[in-house]
Amino acid sequence: MRLSKRERQKKLKLSLEAEPFLTDEEMARRFGVSIQTIRLDRMELGIPELRGRIKHMAEKNFDGVRSLYPEEVIGQVTELKLDHSGVSELEIREEHVFARHRVARGHHLFAQANSLAVAVVDAEVVLTATASIRFVRPVRLGEKCVAVARVTKVTSNRTQVDIQTFVEDEVVFQGVFDVYRSKEDQ
Amino acid sequence: MRLSKRERQKKLKLSLEAEPFLTDEEMARRFGVSIQTIRLDRMELGIPELRGRIKHMAEKNFDGVRSLYPEEVIGQVTELKLDHSGVSELEIREEHVFARHRVARGHHLFAQANSLAVAVVDAEVVLTATASIRFVRPVRLGEKCVAVARVTKVTSNRTQVDIQTFVEDEVVFQGVFDVYRSKEDQ
C-alpha cells in the first residue's frame, strides 16, 4: 500500500536523518515512487540534494586532535572542527561525585571543559593561560554532561574558547578559556 | 617618587600582614626596588622568607576539614584554619602531566586549589559557584606545588577564597574562588 504524501515525507525525513547519504534513486525505490516525486518532496522539506548534504557533513567534519593525545581529553569527543568548535560528553559516575552529597566535583566539569578548550585549538602545544568559570547548577550522579566549545577569538598566540556544558537542555557550567599556543608549533 | 627606606619598610611590613604570601619579587615590583633590597629589608625587620612564613602558618593551626572527607582533598593539607586559611601540597607525578611535553595538566592544579578552597570553609555543604584562575607558568614533572588559601570575604551564604600556588618562591597559579555554603548546614 502506498503511503500518503504526508506520511512519506515524514518517513523520508527520518530516513535521511539516519542515513544522510541515501540517493534520490534509492529513496524512490524504497517508497515505490518516482525520482521526480522524491525531488519534489525534498524541495518541500527544504532538504538539499545529496551533494549538498555531503558538503554540509564535510564542513561538520570530525578533525583530529592536535594539541594532546586523544585519550587525554576528559570525556568523549563527539564533534571537532579545529579552531572552530567541538563537543564532548562526560557521564557522571561514582568516581566523579562527593561521597557525601553525590554531587559532581567541580574539577571534573572543569577538566572536561578545559581539555576540550585545548583540544579544539589547531596547534601542537597548547596551554591554558586563564579561565573564568561558573558552576550554574550542581550535577548529580548519572547525569550526562555535554560540553560545547566555540572558538570566539584568535590572536597571534592566543585563542579564546567559550564553553557551555549542558545536561539535557539545561546549562550547568559555563567558562571562558584563554589558551596560548606555542609559536614554534604553528 | 621613591619612598625612603623607613617608609618602605613600614609599608612592606603592613603589606605582609595583609598578604603574608607576597613574594620578594612581587614586593620589589610594587616598591620599585631590587629583590636584594627587599631581602635586606626583611632581614632588618626580622621577617622570614616566604617558605618560612608558610611553615609558620602551618605550625599555628590545624583544624579538621568539615565540608568534605579529608581524603577528598586533592593534595596533602598541611595547614588548615577554618574560615581563615589553609595550605596544601601536591607533587606533580607522571599521572598529572601531558604525555607530550611533561607539563602538568591544568585541571590538577585547579583541583588542588578548588578542593582547598572548599576545605577551608567552615560548613558541611560547600560548592564552588565561580572561579577566576590564572596559570602563571607551566609546572613540570617532579615539582612540588604548595597552594595557599586565604578567606577574603564572608557573606551570609558565600565565601570568597583567594588561592596562590607556589613552586619554591615562584607563583605558578592564582585563583579567586567564590563558594557557597548551604544554609541548613551552618
* A85-106: pLDDT as tens digits: 899 999 999 999 988 888 999 9
Domain presence at residue B17: yes
Residue A151 confidence (pLDDT) above 80: yes
- The answer to whether residues B116 and B175 belong to one domain is yes
Tell me the residue range of the domain where A161 lies: 70-185
Task: Determine the pLDDT at residue B185.
Answer: 41
Residue A3 pLDDT class (50, 70, 90 cuts): confident
Task: Determine the pLDDT at residue B61.
Answer: 57
**Selected residue of B65, B90, B98 to mutate for chain A interface (largest A Cβ count, 10 A):** B98
- The answer to whether residues A33 and A80 belong to one domain is no
Task: Determine the pLDDT at residue A145.
Answer: 95
Report the distance separating Cα B32 and Cα B107, nearest Å.
35
Task: Determine the pLDDT at residue A79.
Answer: 85
Report the distance separating Cα A158 and Cα B132, nearest Å.
18
- The answer to whether residues A89 and A55 belong to one domain is no
Domain presence at residue A65: no
Q: Do B134 and A135 touch (CB under 8 A)?
A: no
Cβ contacts (< 8 Å) between A132 and chain B: which residues? 130-133
Task: Determine the pLDDT at residue A176.
Answer: 97
- The answer to whether residues B116 and B164 belong to one domain is yes
Task: Determine the pLDDT at residue B183.
Answer: 58
Q: Do B107 and A110 touch (CB under 8 A)?
A: yes
Least confident segment among A17-31, A119-133, B95-109, B145-159? A17-31
Q: Do B107 and A107 touch (CB under 8 A)?
A: yes
The structural domain count of chain A equals 2
Task: Determine the pLDDT at residue B125.
Answer: 84
- Contact of A165 with chain B, judged by CB distance below 8 Å, is answered with no
Q: What is the CATH number of the domain that holds B20?
A: 1.10.10.10
Residue A169 confidence (pLDDT) above 90: no
Task: Determine the pLDDT at residue A1.
Answer: 63
- The answer to whether residues B74 and B152 belong to one domain is yes
Domain presence at residue B54: no
Residue A186 pLDDT class (50, 70, 90 cuts): very low
Q: What is the CATH number of the domain that holds B112?
A: 3.10.129.10
Task: Determine the pLDDT at residue A2.
Answer: 76
Residue B1 pLDDT class (50, 70, 90 cuts): low
Task: Determine the pLDDT at residue A159.
Answer: 96
Predicted confidence (pLDDT) per residue in B16-53, tens digit: 887 877 889 989 999 999 999 999 999 999 888 887 77
Task: Determine the pLDDT at residue A48.
Answer: 87
- The answer to whether residues A51 and A82 belong to one domain is no
Domain presence at residue A33: yes
Please check whether residue A113 is in contact with residue A119, taking contact to mean a CB–CB distance below 8 angstroms.
Answer: no
- The answer to whether residues A48 and A128 belong to one domain is no
Among the listed residues B103, B62, B19, the one whose alpha carbon sits nearest the alpha carbon of residue A129: B103
Task: Determine the pLDDT at residue B57.
Answer: 66
Q: Torsion angle of alpha carbons A76, B113, B82, B77, nearest 10°? A: 100
Domain presence at residue A107: yes
Chain A to chain B, count of Cβ pairs less than 8 Å apart?
80
* Full DSSP string of B122-160: SSS-EEEEEEEEEE-S--BTT-EEEEEEEEEEE-SSEEE
Average pLDDT over every residue of A58-76: 75
Q: Three-state SS across chain A?
A: CCCCHHHHHHHHHHHHHHCCCCCHHHHHHHHCCCHHHHHHHHHHHCCCCHHHHHHHHHHHCCCCCCCCCHHHCCCEEEEEECCCEEEEEEECCHHHECCCCCEECHHHHHHHHHHHHHHCCCCCCEEEEEEEEEECCCCECCCEEEEEEEEEEECCCEEEEEEEEEECCEEEEEEEEEEEECHHHC
- The answer to whether residues A47 and A136 belong to one domain is no
Q: Do A127 and B72 touch (CB under 8 A)?
A: no
B69, B127, B134: residue with CB nearest A135:
B127
Q: Do A130 and B130 touch (CB under 8 A)?
A: no
Domain presence at residue B89: yes
A68, A69, A135: residue with CB nearest B129:
A135
Average pLDDT over every residue of B48-62: 71
Residue A11 pLDDT class (50, 70, 90 cuts): very high
- Contact of A21 with chain B, judged by CB distance below 8 Å, is answered with no
**Joined grid coordinates for residue B119:** 576545605
Closest CA–CA distance from residue B97 to any residue of chain A (Å): 10
Report the distance separating Cα B19 and Cα A90, nearest Å.
39
Arithmetic mean of pLDDT over chain A: 87
- The answer to whether residues A116 and A176 belong to one domain is yes
Largest CA distance in chain A: 66
Residue A57 confidence (pLDDT) above 80: no
Chain A contacts in chain B segment 51-90 (CB below 8 A): 68-69, 72, 74
